[in-house]
């Protein structure tokens, strides 16, 4: 059956909030240069929501009309016991209240978990992959091994999962791989989305302006070899899509800097410590963990806090590189908010 309570969460701009992205850990087995520092200090375990608390929190959002749940991190699959959480969420798929349960991952753990994810009801996953060059991959991830990720992608496809590759467009790093990445995804029948680098976690040791490659330029380069058709299709996320007529493949473009997607935003993000961010590009948040822990038998205070937070959701973010500085940047790392 469909969610009888939908839509409960309506923001001040009449947008129904039906999509929740949840970080289940701030830890990761990579140290991608645009996501976190090489020497990270991770949160103490007691500050994280337990798996049972994550279940209760997500179930409350689903009861309020959330229909899509994306699990992120850090790297979500490095959290101990994480499959018990996925298995628990499958009951909402079975009831029809939840329409989609999906994951964003770096791919390093898919050899271990792809079959279990499919069994829990996951049908699509996003794999973050910025290069097909092993040496460059190790450089951008600092700790990662490309062959392990490619093996994980193969395991996911064999398990029946539809794979979408998410590639952060980085000037001077993967500009020369635009067509090789596109061709690889076409050959392997995988979707591909390019993402502009965002000013997250600028604490003095990352050069976001130097990394920034505008997707208008990327699109113009694609147009030198392909006929591009704009698609009206939207999947509930921030991507806009084009079709390459010569291959028939669909390419997503996520452009928070050059053409922001705020007007149709239907999502909020929750960190692994229970902070609800109504906008990725704003610092305002609502702390839900203590409210949840203070009322173990009564969800009413938690529901009231969620509803009050949604009423503070802003119209949009303020990311801007046009003046060659990272205006609108936020201090937290992407791994804290959830990728």
Domains of the chain by residue range: 19-337
- Residue positions in the annotated binding site for GTP? 21, 70, 104, 164, 267-269
Structure confidence at residue 218 (pLDDT): 96
User: Rounded CA gap, 25 and 174, in Å?
Assistant: 28
Structure confidence at residue 107 (pLDDT): 97
Q: List strands edge to edge, sheet with 275-277.
A: 228-231, 240-244, 250-254, 191-196, 162-169, 124-128, 100-105, 68-72, 19-23, 267-270, 275-277, 285-287
- Residue positions in the annotated binding site? 21, 28, 32, 34-35, 70, 74, 104, 128, 164, 198, 262, 265, 267-269, 279
pLDDT digits (tens, 9 = 90+) for 150-159: 999 999 999 9
Structure confidence at residue 92 (pLDDT): 98
Structure confidence at residue 327 (pLDDT): 47
Residues of the chain with pLDDT under 50: 1, 6, 200-206, 319-330, 332
Q: Give the CATH class of 19-337.
A: alpha beta
- Residue positions in the annotated binding site for S-adenosyl-L-methionine? 34, 74, 128, 198
- Residue positions in the annotated binding site for [4Fe-4S] cluster? 28, 32, 35, 262, 265, 279
What would the two tokens of residue 215 be? 């997707």
């Amino acid at each position: 059956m469909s969610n009888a309570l939908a839509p409960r969460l309506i923001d001040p701009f009449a947008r129904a909030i039906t999509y929740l992205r949840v970080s289940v850990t701030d830890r990761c087995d990579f140290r991608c240069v645009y996501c976190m520092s090489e020497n990270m200090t991770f949160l103490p375990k007691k500050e994280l929501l337990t798996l049972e608390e994550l279940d209760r929190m997500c179930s409350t959002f689903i009861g309020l009309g959330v229909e899509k749940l994306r699990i992120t991190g850090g790297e979500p699959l490095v959290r101990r016991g994480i499959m018990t959480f996925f298995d628990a969420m499958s009951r909402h798929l079975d009831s029809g209240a939840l329409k989609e349960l999906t994951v964003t991952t770096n791919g390093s753990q898919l050899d271990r978990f792809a079959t279990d994810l499919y069994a829990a009801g996951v049908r699509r996953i996003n794999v973050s992959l910025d290069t097909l060059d092993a040496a460059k991959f190790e450089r951008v991830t600092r700790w990662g091994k490309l062959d392990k990720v490619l093996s994980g992608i193969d395991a996911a496809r064999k398990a029946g999962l539809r794979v979408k590759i998410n590639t952060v467009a980085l000037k001077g790093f993967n500009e020369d791989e635009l067509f090789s990445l596109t061709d690889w995804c076409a050959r392997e029948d995988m979707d591909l989305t390019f993402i502009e680098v965002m000013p997250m976690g600028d604490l003095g040791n990352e050069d976001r302006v130097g990394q920034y490659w505008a997707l208008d330029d990327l699109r113009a380069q694609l147009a030198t070899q392909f006929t591009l058709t704009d698609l009206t299709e939207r999947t509930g996320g921030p991507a806009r899509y084009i079709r390459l007529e010569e291959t028939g493949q669909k390419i997503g473009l996520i452009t928070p800097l050059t053409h922001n997607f705020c007007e149709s935003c239907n999502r909020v993000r929750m960190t692994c410590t229970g902070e609800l961010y109504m906008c990725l590009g704003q610092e305002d948040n609502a702390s839900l963990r203590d409210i949840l822990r203070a009322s173990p038998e009564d969800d009413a205070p938690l529901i009231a806090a969620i509803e009050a937070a949604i009423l503070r959701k802003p119209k949009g973010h303020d990311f801007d590189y046009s003046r060659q500085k990272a205006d609108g940047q936020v201090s937290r790392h992407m791994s804290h908010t959830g990728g």
